[in-house]
Amino acid sequence: MEQKNETLTLGSLFDGSGGFPLGGVLAGITPIFNSEIEPFPVRVTEVRFPNMKHYGDVSKLKGAELPSVDIITFGSPCQDMSIAGCRDGLSGSRSSLFYTIGNFS
């Protein structure tokens, strides 16, 4: 039986400083795109992954318009869940962005 040697691809939403893409690279996975709005983390991933496309605000994305990838990762905003935050949970203004993942089908 012939095995294909295809590299898996990854898209990262709520990317932060690129932890999921970095883990992917270490596992032989190619990061294709990310979504992040905070300037410092965006700059970190621009330096670490110069070939990765940056799409910005996840709430403005449509999955059908993004490049096709094998794996989608996300670390949704946790400020509303944190003891340091206002503890609004998933109904908080930032953590409720978790529900936008449903738009990526």
Contact by Cβ (8 Å): 90, 98: yes
CA distances from 56 to 23, 34, 62, 87 (A): 21, 8, 12, 26
Q: Of these residues, 22, 69, 78, 101, which one is catalytic?
A: 78
Q: Is 78 a catalytic residue?
A: yes
- The CA distance from 20 to 35, in Å, is 12
- The CA distance from 63 to 35, in Å, is 12
Structure token digits, residue 62: 């449509």
Which residue type, as a one-letter code, is found at position 82? S
Residues annotated as catalytic are 78
